[in-house]
């Protein structure tokens, strides 16, 4: 074995290690955008909207029950958990007479066991959001989607969904909807609305009544959920954005449309701790809360994309929690792409999306230009129909749905998702673009998906080709048993990511039957026969497929080079996801880095298989 060959092999493997470090650094940055303690202390909650008799106390998580009881005794109050889910974070509510509130808050602020103590407050829905247009009468609708009332959903066309549906479906990403609940189950007086049948729901929680049934007794939350994930192409009703996501219903607002800061903050933490990758909050208030700000920062730091309505007060200041660092603040547009009369604006607006305007019919379809979805009749869970609502509450779920599509493509860092949404947003057509009104612009779903695919696909392909080169260099030292050529390279390309990470190729061929799987490397192929279980399945994110193919065709000499390349490409794909954990590996515990170990070990196994295929 000559020294130059040995040196070349070491250089190749050195490049692989450098590439892995670069991938991990570039795509898995987790900058903390949360406020520092000085900022938190500077915020105060105004008396308007606050409950004069209740205070919220966020204690240090490691306190014992005895310490909590002693603290209550010292300051003369009884602490009650905000919900049965809030014990781990030691988050309590206490009833205090208005005359004692200031003194109790001051006493608690002086205690080292207490992180935050502040009055509770109530957040509500804006009345404008509940302006419902008459239920439309639908006709036939040809093509995809076949939902007959899709022709009235101008808002989905505005963000480019006809093209986006051909590219992505959400890949089983969990989206938490913090709202009035969702009409997702048949339970007591509640029922699932027809156009949510077939959508997957994960365990949610009712933070208003403190039970496991997050049912909607208002209508707002079901409408919001429909925009994110209405059953699409099912031959009835209307369509939604991310038709293959999972919805986590979290009820934080009552049937009257109001709820406490305590419940909202508790639900944010619950969502972050129970697997949500995107949170939608179509709610808010005009005054800040340190408890709520901390909850948003907590979710962001755990890798959750937090999307919020900017508010409907027509004022030049974004509401809360949308204005907090770590949240994406969404303004509302109408059919002509101007921002709506009710939408808040200001420097904190990040992007804009359709919110509707039921006072006009700009597209001339015979019905007001609201955002149309299937939901229960207002405050009557026994009835449902198709209603058009308007509000930044309707704009926010458009962004949350597109964010889920981005996460489904493998980009899960919240800052990276926000950057993609902003970088791919477009300026309004025939309207003057104003930064404070639109943020970066109106979201563009297909452009966002393509950029997300390009963000990960290029790295995966490059890493796969590097590993293929390193394997080839190592094999040459020992003498090749087969001739390398274009087939070896193509095998590596298919195993790693495919050439279709290029945006112009994605938009052209991804809609062709049987081709969409080739826009990703083999482990990330989504097999329709497995549904959501096909994405991130541990059997595919492994060396199993390369091993099986090599076992079947090792005796066919001309196939050994492409099979070796394929194994090298899969090794690159697995190594990428080991370095940047962007996809949840199903049936694999997340604790102790087991998923990362699984991916790394199988990447090494694929390298061994590739070298085996190339030996004499």
Give the domain-ending residue among 121, 153, 170: 121
The Cα-based distances of 463 to 7, 22, 86, 411, 466 in angstroms read: 20, 10, 43, 17, 5
Quick one: pLDDT band at residue 516, thresholds 50, 70, 90?
low
Whether residues 280 and 361 fall in one domain = yes
Q: Has 393 been annotated as catalytic?
A: yes
Pick the catalytic residue from 58, 179, 215, 350. Answer: 179
Whether residues 343 and 230 fall in one domain = yes
pLDDT at 41: 30
Whether residues 430 and 505 fall in one domain = no
Q: Has 220 been annotated as catalytic?
A: yes
Give the domain-ending residue among 81, 99, 121: 121
What is the tally of structural domains in the chain?
3
Strand pairing partners for 330?
309, 351
Nearest CA among 139, 143, 183, 140 for reference residue 163: 143
Q: What is the pLDDT of residues 454-511, one digit of tens each?
A: 777 778 888 888 998 888 888 776 677 677 889 998 898 888 876 655 555 555 555 5
**Gap between the Cα atoms of 278 and 397, Å rounded:** 10
**Gap between the Cα atoms of 15 and 463, Å rounded:** 9
The model carries a pTM of 0.80
Whether residues 55 and 8 fall in one domain = no
| Residue 89 forms part of a structural domain | yes
Strand pairing partners for 373?
387
pLDDT at 406: 93
Phi, psi torsion values for 389, nearest 5 degrees: -110, 165
Give the count of beta carbons closer than 10 Å to the beta carbon of residue 512: 10
- Cβ atoms 300, 414 nearer than 8 A: yes
pLDDT at 52: 52
Q: Has 254 been annotated as catalytic?
A: no
Quick one: pLDDT band at residue 136, thresholds 50, 70, 90?
very low
- Percent of the chain exceeding pLDDT 70 equals 82
- Residues in contact with 112: Cβ distance below 8 Å, sequence separation at least 6, in sequence order: none
| Residue 500 forms part of a structural domain | yes
The 3 state secondary structure assigned to 332-387 is EECCCCCECCCCCCCCCCCEEEECCECCCCCCCCCCCECEEEEEEECCEEEEEEEE
- Cβ atoms 574, 610 nearer than 8 A: no
pLDDT at 178: 98
Whether residues 380 and 463 fall in one domain = no
Whether residues 100 and 142 fall in one domain = no
Give the domain-ending residue among 121, 152, 174: 121
Domain that holds residue 240: 127-443
What percent of the chain is helix, strand and coil (3-state, nearest 5)? Answer: 45, 15, 40
Q: What is the pLDDT of residues 181-232, one digit of tens each?
A: 999 999 999 999 999 999 999 999 999 999 999 999 999 999 999 999 999 9
- Residues in contact with 306: Cβ distance below 8 Å, sequence separation at least 6, in sequence order: 268, 279, 281, 296, 299, 300, 321, 326, 327, 328, 414
pLDDT at 578: 86
Give the count of beta carbons closer than 10 Å to the beta carbon of residue 146: 15
Pick the catalytic residue from 152, 155, 220, 398. Answer: 220
The Cα-based distances of 278 to 49, 297, 405, 414 in angstroms read: 28, 14, 10, 9
Whether residues 132 and 241 fall in one domain = yes
The verdict on whether omega for the bond into residue 145 sits within 30 degrees of 0, i.e. cis, is yes
**Gap between the Cα atoms of 152 and 135, Å rounded:** 11
| Residue 287 forms part of a structural domain | yes
- Cβ atoms 225, 235 nearer than 8 A: no
The verdict on whether omega for the bond into residue 258 sits within 30 degrees of 0, i.e. cis, is no
Q: Is 308 helix (H, G, I), strand (E, B) or coil?
A: strand
| Residue 590 forms part of a structural domain | yes
pLDDT at 252 over 50: yes
Buried b (16+ CB within 10 A) or exposed e, 438-450: bbbbbbbbbbbbb
Q: What is the mean pLDDT of residues 77-105?
A: 93
The answer to which of 31-35, 290-294, 506-510 has the lowest mean pLDDT is 31-35
| Residue 449 forms part of a structural domain | no
| Residue 448 forms part of a structural domain | no
The domain that contains 340 carries what CATH number? 3.40.50.200
| Residue 563 forms part of a structural domain | yes
Q: What is the pLDDT of residues 389-448, one digit of tens each?
A: 999 999 999 999 999 999 988 788 899 899 999 999 999 998 999 999 999 999 999 999
Q: What is the mean pLDDT of residues 370-387?
A: 94
Whether residues 297 and 227 fall in one domain = yes
DSSP-derived letter for residue 222 is H
Whether residues 531 and 434 fall in one domain = no
Whether residues 251 and 381 fall in one domain = yes
Pick the catalytic residue from 9, 133, 254, 393. Answer: 393
The domain that contains 107 carries what CATH number? 3.30.70.80
pLDDT at 386 over 80: yes
Whether residues 416 and 483 fall in one domain = no
| Residue 365 forms part of a structural domain | yes
Whether residues 187 and 219 fall in one domain = yes
């Amino acid at each position: 074995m000559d020294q130059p060959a040995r040196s070349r092999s070491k250089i190749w493997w050195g490049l692989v290690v450098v590439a892995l470090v670069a991938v991990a650094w570039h795509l898995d940055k987790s900058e903390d955008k949360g406020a520092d303690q000085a900022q938190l202390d500077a915020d105060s909650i105004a008396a308007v909207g606050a409950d004069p008799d209740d205070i919220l106390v966020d204690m240090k998580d490691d306190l014992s029950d005895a310490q909590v009881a002693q603290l209550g005794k010292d300051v003369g109050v009884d602490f009650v958990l905000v919900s049965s889910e809030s014990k781990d974070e030691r988050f309590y509510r206490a009833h205090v007479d208005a005359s004692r509130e200031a003194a109790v808050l001051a006493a608690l602020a002086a205690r080292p066991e207490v992180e935050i103590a502040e009055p509770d407050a109530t957040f509500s829905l804006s009345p404008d959001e509940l302006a419902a247009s008459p239920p439309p009468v639908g006709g036939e609708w040809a093509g995809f989607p076949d939902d007959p009332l899709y022709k009235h959903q101008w808002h989905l066309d505005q963000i480019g969904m006809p093209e986006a549906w051909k590219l992505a479906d959400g890949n089983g990403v969990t989206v938490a909807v913090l709202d009035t609940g969702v009409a997702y189950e048949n339970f007591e007086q509640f029922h699932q609305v027809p156009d949510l049948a077939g959508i997957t729901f994960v365990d949610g929680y009712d933070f208003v009544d403190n039970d496991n049934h997050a049912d909607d007794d208002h209508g707002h939350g079901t409408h919001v959920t429909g925009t994110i994930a209405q059953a699409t192409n099912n031959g009835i009703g209307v369509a939604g954005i991310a038709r293959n996501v999972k919805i986590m219903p979290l009820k934080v607002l009552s049937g009257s449309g109001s709820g406490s800061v305590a419940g909202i903050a508790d639900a944010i933490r619950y969502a972050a701790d129970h697997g949500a990758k995107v949170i939608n909050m179509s709610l808010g208030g005009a005054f800040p809360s340190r408890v709520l700000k901390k909850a948003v920062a907590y979710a962001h730091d755990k890798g959750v994309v937090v999307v919020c309505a900017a508010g409907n007060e027509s004022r030049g200041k974004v509401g809360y929690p949308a204005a907090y660092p770590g949240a994406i603040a969404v303004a509302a547009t109408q059919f002509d792409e101007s921002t709506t009369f009710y939408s808040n604006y200001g420097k904190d607006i990040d992007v804009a999306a359709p919110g509707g305007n039921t006072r006009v019919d700009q597209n001339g379809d015979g019905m007001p230009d609201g955002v149309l979805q299937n939901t229960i009749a207002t405050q009557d869970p026994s009835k449902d129909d198709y209603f058009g609502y308007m509000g930044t509450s309707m704009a926010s779920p458009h962004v949350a749905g597109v964010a889920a599509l981005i996460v489904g493509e493998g980009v899960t860092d919240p800052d990276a998702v926000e950057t993609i949404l902003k970088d791919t947003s477009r300026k309004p057509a025939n309207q003057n673009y104003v930064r404070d009104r639109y943020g970066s612009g109106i979201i563009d779903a297909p452009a966002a998906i393509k950029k997300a695919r390009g963000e990960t696909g290029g790295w995966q392909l490059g890493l796969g080709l590097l590993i293929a080169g390193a394997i080839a260099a190592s094999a040459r030292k020992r003498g090749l048993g087969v001739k390398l050529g274009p087939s070896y390279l193509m095998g590596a390309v298919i195993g790693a990511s495919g050439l279709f990470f290029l945006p112009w190729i994605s938009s052209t061929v991804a809609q062709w039957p049987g081709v969409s799987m080739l826009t990703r490397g083999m482990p990330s192929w989504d097999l329709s026969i497995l549904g959501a279980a096909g994405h991130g399945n541990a059997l595919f994110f492994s060396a199993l497929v390369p091993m099986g193919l090599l076992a079947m065709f090792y005796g066919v000499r001309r196939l050994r080079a492409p099979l070796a390349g394929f194994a090298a490409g899969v090794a690159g794909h697995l190594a990428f996801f080991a370095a940047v954990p962007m996809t949840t590996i199903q049936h694999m515990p997340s604790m102790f880095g087991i998923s990362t170990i699984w991916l790394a070990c199988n990447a090494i196994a694929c390298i061994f298989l590739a070298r085996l295929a190339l030996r004499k």
